């Protein structure tokens, strides 16, 4: 069961397996989750679902997640963004932080690192090891 005040998390990734994995892990920790597989779906989801956190992949089928960061920050300034990508280099990290991401996690994803990223961006310890 989800509590009414449980943080909402939007997962934006074109890899269905990543969305499924993250959804299952986060639901076990009582988070409300929703997935979008591209930027277009993410915009539609954001129209009725204001998340506390967005997990955002960079390479999506209809564009770069990096270019979607300013949209999220402009329209949902309280929403935290955690970039999740296999393309991890110094330039990408710098660009992501300059555009406003709150944290950056490399794929392959590890639960302990994701857990720490969520705690960091929400400013509190909300999850336990699982």
Give per-residue pLDDT as tens, 30-85: 899 999 999 999 999 999 999 999 999 999 999 999 999 999 999 999 999 999 99
Of 69, 94, 85, 82, residue with least CA distance to 118: 82
The CA distance from 124 to 118, in Å, is 9
CA angle, residues 56, 113, 63, in degrees to nearest 5: 15
Mean pLDDT for the stretch of residues 89-118 = 94
The CA distance from 91 to 58, in Å, is 13
Mean pLDDT for the stretch of residues 78-93 = 93
- Using 50, 70 and 90 to split pLDDT, how confident is the model at 87? confident
The residues near 114 (Cβ < 8 Å, ≥ 6 apart) are 22, 25, 82, 105
The CA distance from 38 to 60, in Å, is 6
Distances (CA, A) of 88 to 55, 84, 93, 104, 127: 15, 9, 7, 9, 25
Residue 130's pLDDT is: 40
User: What's the predicted TM-score (pTM) here?
Assistant: 0.90
Ordered by start, the domain boundaries in the chain are 8-122
Looking at the domain 8-122, which fold is it?
Rossmann fold (3.40.50)
CA angle, residues 119, 121, 123, in degrees to nearest 5: 65
Residue 21: CA atoms inside 13 Å, Cβ hemisphere, count? Answer: 13
Residue 5's pLDDT is: 77
The CA distance from 67 to 75, in Å, is 14
């Amino acid at each position: 069961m989800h509590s009414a005040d449980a943080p909402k998390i939007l997962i934006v990734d074109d890899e269905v397996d990543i969305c499924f994995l993250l959804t299952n892990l986060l639901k076990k920790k009582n988070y409300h989750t929703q997935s979008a597989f591209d930027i277009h779906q993410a915009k539609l989801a954001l129209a009725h679902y204001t998340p506390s956190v967005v997990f955002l992949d960079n390479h999506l089928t209809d564009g770069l997640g990096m270019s979607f960061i300013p949209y999220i920050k402009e329209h949902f300034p309280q929403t935290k963004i955690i970039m999740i990508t296999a393309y991890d280099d110094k330039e990408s990290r710098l660009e992501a932080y300059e555009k406003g991401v709150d944290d950056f996690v490399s794929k392959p994803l590890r639960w302990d690192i994701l857990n720490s990223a969520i705690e960091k961006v929400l400013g509190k310890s909300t999850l336990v090891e699982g």
